[in-house]
Chain A
Amino acid sequence: MATDSTREPLLTVSHVSIGFNGTPVTHDVHFSLFPGTITALVGESGSGKSVSAMALAHLDPSQAEVSGQAFLDSNTTLNILDNTLDQASLQKLRGGQIGVVFQEPMTAFNPLMTLGKQVEESLIYHQPKLSKQERKEAVLHAFEAVRLPQPERIFTAHPHELSGGQLQRVMIAMAIINNPSIIIADEPTTALDVTTQKAILQLLESLARERHLAILIITHDMGVVWEAAQYVYVMQKGEIVEEGSTRQIFTAPTHPYTRMLLDAVPKLTVDSEGEDSPTADSPAPALVQLEHVSLSYSHRAHAKLALHDISLRIGAGETLALVGESGAGKTTIGKVISGQLTPQQGTVLIGGDNLAGLKGKKLRQARSSIGFVFQNSSSALVPTKTIGWSIAEPLLVEESLGGTKLSSQQRLERVEELMKHVGLDPALASRFPYQLSGGQRQRVGIARAIALRPKLLIADEPTSSLDVTVQKRVLDLLRTLQQEYGYACLFITHDLGIVQEVAHNLAVIKSGEIVEQGSVSEVLAHPRHAYTRTLLDASPRIDVSAR
């Protein structure tokens, strides 16, 4: 059961069942955490992994009904899951014995308070004897421990002045400052760029080692598990279905669900031949062509260029993946191609037309030949309208722009057809967005995008908020649809792993400049630019043999 049977667990959890309004969410969950060890609790959203872990610090939603036992090695009589735990013990537990790291560093801090103060707050209640000066020293020390540069500056900074990666380090500093024995990290890297993710995982690893911490990482990402954890619990529908050492789980998964999770992980297979990525046989005629495009937001003289000398082409029926970290300018390129932004320099040709020269109806037509899929499709759906209405909406807009008038019966049929194409049950047409799962909503978004048979599909991080298994299915769908509809696709992503699955060509962008482009197999096999190599290194690569 344990990775090292000679050590005693720091925390033993057993028979944990959690329910909401009488409906059970988890059933008889158990796990143990050992000093110096990172344990992963892996599963897809809704599997109950987060509630189970958060219940330890009583941080799950207040309506949750929790039963079960959890004992810290320091006090084997006190069940920390006890509902009747008094406030004082609870406060001692939180931040004192258990530190917590959350998923979204950008929103996890009080925006009005300096970071120093927020970390210091933890000390005030757990180590009341410290003087103000001692507290500050302790905070600065913790900042150094998590390898934050310029701790003094960060002490007085507000959350919005720091990057997500830096904030996550501050969060970790906050979690360890009272020297707890246990850290619970809930999807600690999901909101971060791939390079940052790697660094944070390395930090957690070293902290576990150096401070003999027991760290519980909750994640849906097998890549993260592979990178960081020594022991894994796999959770499905509220139950632990499999556990074992990381190596065991990756090499010899026994439960079908575990196998499915592993299959769904996009594999970055670097093959010197690069033959298994779908490459177009002959260069297709260019649908989109950007030549020497430069653009700066705002008129301020000191404004940085958002895009600098961008040249790229997307052939008809081809997919170009645009890869880079957040803020690199990926989305901006999408906006330039769709005509939402006009570059100050360079030309943008869509199907041979210069978008800048188009006006009025021509421009609207050009735009209607472009479909969009966004990261968060639910925000693009009107919450008070049915799914059917949302899918029919682009058709209606097209009609109002002079397109073919459809009878309501024809429209209905078209909506049904689209729903079938994207793998949705047409019976869902009368449902409302909130009644659908994230994957279903993303399919609705795709149905809307292809409703007008676009020549170009711009997909902006379409799967980054989806679970791996869902992501795989959505990527499959996009590929199938491309064969059927023949659209060209600009696929914006930060995840090199999925590039191989969907794209023919790849452009790597950094700080508004394209540093490298070419066919996917070629770039991945022979990255020329240092940045591409960094990205490749940071991508979780599951290589069982290397372990």
Chain B
Amino acid sequence: MSTFASSPLARTLWYILKRAVQALVVIILIAVALFLVFYMLPANPAQLSCGKPCTPEQLQRVSAFMGTDQPWYAQLGAYMLGIFAGRTFGTGASAVVCSAPCLGYSFRLSTPVTTLIAQRFPVTASIAIGAAVLWMLVGVSTGVLAAVKRGTWVDRLLNALSSIGISSPSYLIGLLAIIVFAIELPLFPSSGYVAFSTNPLEWLQHMLLPWLVLALLNAAGYTRITRAQMVTELEQDYIRTARSKGVPERRIIGVHALRNALLPVMTLFGLDLGALLGGAVLTEKVFSMQGLGMLLLDSVTNLDLQVLVGSTLFAAALVIIANLIVDICYSLLDPRVTLGH
């Protein structure tokens, strides 16, 4: 380490490498934990593919084909190996090949998990990124407003609204929004997803309602944290210094206090966005969008173990990456922070 310490770039790269290795370890541990949890479940995923009626011989055949007749460590080993080397299920003419990086294979959907994730991720990303941008804008601006107007009716109103936002069940709000804005007043399409590449305008039409619902609910938390941070920052000595220089209040709030207040908000934002990119379950469900969240949900309902593990690993990786990005951003935005220590 000391040999690298000379150059800040080298130190940053070294840090990222170190974090990536840590992330990999975490991901492997998550995979192991997931496998164990599902191995503990009494159900054999092969039973769902056995057919009706199911004979013991048939069950054995399906289990052997899917590999679920193996002990857990063998299944886990095969799974982990598959990520790097790919794997093949069955033999001979009916063999199914899942090429590397094989995050698993869904027998229910006859598709490699990697392909499924690639299909679903744009949906979830569309929901998550759009909503995140919106809630950040709404949350931060209302938070700043509440902080600047603290103690006034504006502050109290925003506080009340954010209480409602925080305590509202998103599924229900989504449902209500659809009934009001898509069914009763058909301003938006009620459901479904149109790929951006297919028709950008329709994509936008379909995304608006989910964005609004998700953004308004999430913004509530951001209003609160931004308000709290702003109030704290506005009481800092450097704000008084800025005032003493004759800097206008607008700039004091917008530049001095806000930049400092946004640092912790950014941490939260990174983690929230990372988690949401791994699957916006309720939103996807209520707006009938086939994103990662629905994939995960489906895999739980249908005991599609490999999809479950694969998509969870992907989601976990997203959170970890988001975390890393937040840390790097932090070091760029806050000169007091240097990576690697």
Contacts and interface: CB of A to CB of B under 8 A. Distances in A.
Contacts of A78: none
B245 A174 contact: yes
Interface string A87-102: 1001111111001101
Contacts of A175: 244
Given A110-B260, A160-B336, A94 B241 contact: no
B335 A125 contact: no
15 contacts: A90-B246, A91-B246, A91-B247, A95-B246, A96-B246, A108-B240, A109-B238, A110-B256, A111-B334, A111-B336, A112-B333, A121-B245, A160-B336, A171-B241, A302-B5
A130 to B, nearest CB: 15
Contacts of B22: none
Contact of B2 (A100, A110, A113, A300): A300
Given A102-B241, A112-B333, 5 more contacts: A59-B243, A110-B238, A158-B336, A160-B335, A161-B335
Contacts of B241: 100, 102, 108-110, 118, 171, 174
Contacts of B249: 87
Interface of A: 57, 59, 87, 90-96, 99-100, 102, 104, 107-113, 118, 121-122, 125-126, 158, 160-161, 171, 174-175, 300-302
A126 B241 CA distance: 15
Contacts of B236: 107
B237 interface: yes
Contacts of A158: 335-336
A96 B148 CA distance: 25
B53 interface: no
Q: Which 3 A-B pairs have the closest CB atoms?
A: A95-B246, A100-B244, A158-B335
A104 B240 CA distance: 12
Contact of A111 (B246, B248, B260): B260
B29 interface: no
Nearest to B240: A59
B259 interface: yes
Given A158-B336, A300-B2, A302-B2, A111 B244 contact: no
Interface of A is mostly: mixed
Nearest to A122: B245
A107 B233 CA distance: 11
B35 to A, nearest CB: 38
Contacts of B246: 90-96, 122, 125-126
B248 A87 contact: yes
Contacts of A126: 246
A113 B237 CA distance: 14
A423 to B, nearest CB: 33
Contact of B237 (A94, A104, A118): A104
Nearest to B250: A87
Nearest to A96: B246
B334 A301 contact: no
A485 B243 CA distance: 51
B2 A301 contact: yes
Contacts of B336: 111, 158, 160
Contacts of B133: none
A109 B334 CA distance: 13
Interface string B242-282: 11111111000000100110000000000000000000000
